[in-house]
Structure 1
Amino acid sequence: MEVLGLSSEEIRKKISSLYNFLLVNPFPYEDTNRMKCDFESDFELLEEESLNADFNDYCALIIGTTSYILNGNVAKIPEKQIKVLNEGFFQRFPQFSFVEAKLENYPDFQNEYINHEELRKLILDYLQSK
């Protein structure tokens, strides 16, 4: 089955390429620290929340799911994991939505977000093509 004109193998190659690219990128701590300063009053309302922890969780889920695909273990991906993949970061963590409209002010975070979103969507396309 083809999704968006790409075969499963073509999608898998795109997944592999993006995965390898993302593994060498550092976590955007400078940007998240700046966000915390720029949106100090918004973050103060989120006493128990951690942008770094939640964004790391979002990224790790995507990278972890990718490893299942690249290792040929698609059938072993837990259903709950696939269900969570259907939501982007700001859908899964709406408490941080106040940052979304200003992402261009945080280019490292924005790039990580965009690249992980692209990989997340490729994973879903790949799973749909199977």
Structure 2
Amino acid sequence: MKSEEMLEKISRLYNFQLVNPFPYEDTNRIKIDFESEFELLEEENLNADFNDYCTLIVGTTSYILKGNVANIPKKQIEFLNEDFFQRFPQYSFIKAKLENYPDFQNEYIIHEELRKIIFDYLQSN
């Protein structure tokens, strides 16, 4: 995909797909359904970690759409190389059951698609 096509897709996803509220109901259900797994985690904050993952992607997108690619911190770009479950492997037990949490799954899929395009876009420029 060419840079112009990637930029158009980034803009479209940013403006039309990232309009959903945070999936609190699903994250609450996840915590209940996987109570025993969460009890084993020393430090857990699914809401904060998923929000951090989403915010990183949205924040990077705003840099790109404002033409400030050169100002994106290097560490921020490095984080884009990992999906949510790579960055936060302590939640890997959720991945196989994502379809049971449609709002969470939808947000994950949209942000993942955007993350991959952003990463490719940054690598091509």
Provide TM-score, normalisation by structure 2.
0.97
Aligned AA (1:40):
E
> Alignment identity in percent?
79
Looking at structure 2, the residues matched to 115 and 49 of structure 1 have their Cα atoms a distance apart, in angstroms, of 23
CA contact (8 A) 2:18 2:110 kept: no
In structure 2, which of residues 9, 17, 25 is the aligned counterpart of residue 14 of structure 1? Answer: 9
Tell me, yes or no, if structure 1 residue 65 matches structure 2 residue 60.
yes
Q: What is the aligned-residue RMSD (CA, Å)?
A: 0.9
- Residues 80-122 of structure 1: CA deviation (Å, up to 9, x unaligned): 1101110000000000000000000001000000100000000
Looking at structure 2, the residues matched to 21 and 103 of structure 1 have their Cα atoms a distance apart, in angstroms, of 23
Structure 2 regions of 5+ residues with no counterpart?
Answer: none
Tell me, yes or no, if structure 1 residue 54 matches structure 2 residue 59.
no
Aligned length: 125
Runs of 4+ in structure 1 deviating by more than 3 angstroms, as ranges, are none
1:88 is aligned to 83
Structure 1 regions of 5+ residues with no counterpart?
Answer: 1-5
Provide TM-score, normalisation by structure 1.
0.93
1:3 is aligned to none
Aligned AA (1:114):
I
What secondary structure is seen at the aligned counterpart in 1 of 2:41?
Answer: coil
Aligned AA (1:44):
E
